Amino acid sequence: MRKLSLTELGRMTTEEHQQAKKLPVVVVLDNLRSQHNIGSIFRTADAFRLEAVYLCGISAIPPQREMQKTALGATESVNWKYFANTMQAVEALKVKGYTLCPVEQTEGSISLNNFDLPQTSGLGIVFGNEVGGVEQAVIDASYLCLEIPQFGTKHSLNVAVSAGIVIWEVFNKYLKSHGQSLLNEP
């Protein structure tokens, strides 16, 4: 095996990425305080061609130097929008016909591995504050809550790690149900 160079990877340009067909998934960041976490989530959203990232409340907005350390330019390739509070983002997604699924440990939460994609226009995945999690009002306004199964002594993961796990799983579920044509150009 030989490690591939950056030019051999055949990556899209920022402009090509902006024009490419997107997975109908919006990541909603409910009051994230760490710009490193936000930047990392932008980078994951870029990697799996998600529709957008919605930044809410105290979540920083680009451009921010600390965010760019982990985003590596993904704040320019991924569409984003800021909302003063998370419920505004929730309502905007509901108007679009998106199903809201916060990632949180709740009564009746659905294990990520048992989650079936809803037959709606798209999916809004909400990730909560590093300390307090997803606001209860957002949970109350949502279709269901997703939970990442964990088997160790800790009962939480870093929010950027959680986003990577959930986005990867959702991406695979979309590919399984829609096929590779999901990401082909229109």
Reported as a single tens digit per residue, the pLDDT across 148-175 is 999 999 989 999 999 999 999 999 999 9
Distance CA(49)–CA(35), nearest Å, equals 21
Q: How confident is the model at residue 179 (pLDDT cuts 50, 70, 90)?
A: confident
Distance CA(182)–CA(133), nearest Å, equals 31
Contacts of residue 65, Cβ cutoff 8 Å, sequence gap at least 6: none
Distance CA(91)–CA(175), nearest Å, equals 27
β-partners of residue 125 are 27, 101
DSSP-H helix ranges across the chain = 14-19, 35-47, 65-71, 74-77, 86-95, 136-140, 159-178
pLDDT at 186 over 70: no
Distance CA(159)–CA(30), nearest Å, equals 11
Q: Identify the sign of the CA torsion 54, 89, 121, 134.
A: positive
Contacts of residue 136, Cβ cutoff 8 Å, sequence gap at least 6: none
Establish if 92 belongs to a structural domain: yes
Q: How far is CA 9 from each of CA 80, 154, 157, rounded to the nearest angstrom? A: 26, 37, 31
Establish if 13 belongs to a structural domain: no
Expressed as residue numbers, the domain containing 32 is 22-178
β-partners of residue 133 are 129
Q: How is residue 65 written in tokens?
A: 């130097």
Establish if 38 belongs to a structural domain: yes
Reported as a single tens digit per residue, the pLDDT across 24-56 is 999 999 999 999 999 999 999 999 999 999 999
Overall size of the chain counted in residues: 186
Establish if 11 belongs to a structural domain: no
Establish if 16 belongs to a structural domain: no
DSSP-H helix ranges across 48-158 = 65-71, 74-77, 86-95, 136-140
Establish if 67 belongs to a structural domain: yes
Across all residues in the chain, what is the average pLDDT?
94
Establish if 34 belongs to a structural domain: yes
The CATH number linked to 80 is 3.40.1280.10
Task: Give how many domains the chain has, as a whole number.
Answer: 1
Establish if 10 belongs to a structural domain: no
pTM for this model (two decimals): 0.94
